[in-house]
Amino acid sequence: MTDRYGVIGHPIAHSKSPVIHQQFASQTMQELSYEAIDIAPDNLAKKLNTLIDSGVKGLNVTVPHKNAIANLVDELSERAELAGAVNTISIDRHGGVVGDNTDGVGLYRDLTDNLDIQLADRNLLILGAGGATRGIIPVLLDAQPARLCIANRTVQKAVDLAEQFVALGAITPCRFDDLHGLHFDLIINATSAGLTGEVPPFPGSVIDASTVCYDLSYSMTDTPFCIWAQQQGAAETHQGWGMLVEQAAESFLIWHGVRPDTRPVRALLPA
């Protein structure tokens, strides 16, 4: 029987994950099905159990379930536990459910392998202090930056993250207004401001001709953050398409023991 996989979220109709995983499957000669499954938040626990009972082998998890699902699995990987969020579920042959998180490593691979962006000894800034930020802090600290700042509208959340991750390295928490006069080599937008067409209110002066700007969000056209960063004269702007493909490749590796080549799949998506 063909092994079943899928992605759960709400809404999910526009997810690119089925296309990405089917491409990986044909490239690595795996026979599998991968579908987008819409689950409303109220039904999450019940529907997850139904999927597991039906024999599904693995699931990707996306908005808005990444945090809630962490409480519904039997076991969490270390990185999922640190992130407090799960984007990949594996079901073993005894029905045990393991939650993992490949978002951080997906971003790291896109930044370093695909975009050739250096992180060591660089000044890094993350905008936002929610779930998306928690998932990427460990890989960024591990890269030994000169400084990692987290700026958030609600500064206390940035302060809390700095305390939570202190064992992994130093984080400077700040308000958007505190950023005046500072220079950053890489600015990562991890806020959800773009969902309402907004850009986080931080001073444009922190972007100069050597600043790379990366938006974790992605869209068929430029995101508001990328448009704004281009207007401020950023050296480069990138959306999170590459991260999406790389986190999918890491999930694929967990499930099938083989790492697909992401290049042909990235070429199918907007730059």
**Shortest Cβ 133–ligand ATR spacing (Å):** 6
Among residues 16 and 157, whose Cβ is nearest to ligand ATR?
157
Residue nearest to ligand ATR (CB): 130
Among residues 123 and 152, whose Cβ is nearest to ligand ATR?
152
Does the protein bind ligand ATR through residue 207 (CB under 6 A)? no
**Shortest Cβ 234–ligand ATR spacing (Å):** 18
| Residue 248: count of CB within 10 angstroms of its CB | 27
Does the protein bind ligand ATR through residue 191 (CB under 6 A)? yes
**Shortest Cβ 160–ligand ATR spacing (Å):** 10
Pick one of 27, 28, 112, 192: the residue that binds ligand ATR (CB under 6 A): 192
| Three-class HEC string of the chain | CCEEEEEEECCCCCCCHHHHHHHHHHHCCCCEEEEEEECCHHHHHHHHHHHHHCCCCEEEECCCCCCHHHHCCCEECHHHHHHCCCCEEEECCCCCEEEECCHHHHHHHHHHHHCCCCCCCCEEEEECCCHHHHHHHHHHHHCCCCEEEEECCCHHHHHHHHHHCHHHCCCEEECHHHHCCCCCCEEEECCCHHHHCCCCCCCHHHCCCCCEEEECCCCCCCCHHHHHHHHCCCCEEECCHHHHHHHHHHHHHHHHCCCCCCHHHHCCCCC
Active site annotation includes 66 = yes
Does the protein bind ligand ATR through residue 242 (CB under 6 A)? no
Does the protein bind ligand ATR through residue 10 (CB under 6 A)? no
Does the protein bind ligand ATR through residue 152 (CB under 6 A)? yes
Among residues 154 and 205, whose Cβ is nearest to ligand ATR?
154
Among residues 34 and 202, whose Cβ is nearest to ligand ATR?
202
Does the protein bind ligand ATR through residue 128 (CB under 6 A)? yes
Residues in 73-102 that interact with ligand ATR by CB under 6 A = none
Residues involved in catalysis: 66
Contact set with ligand ATR (CB under 6 A):
128-132, 152-154, 157, 191-193, 198, 200
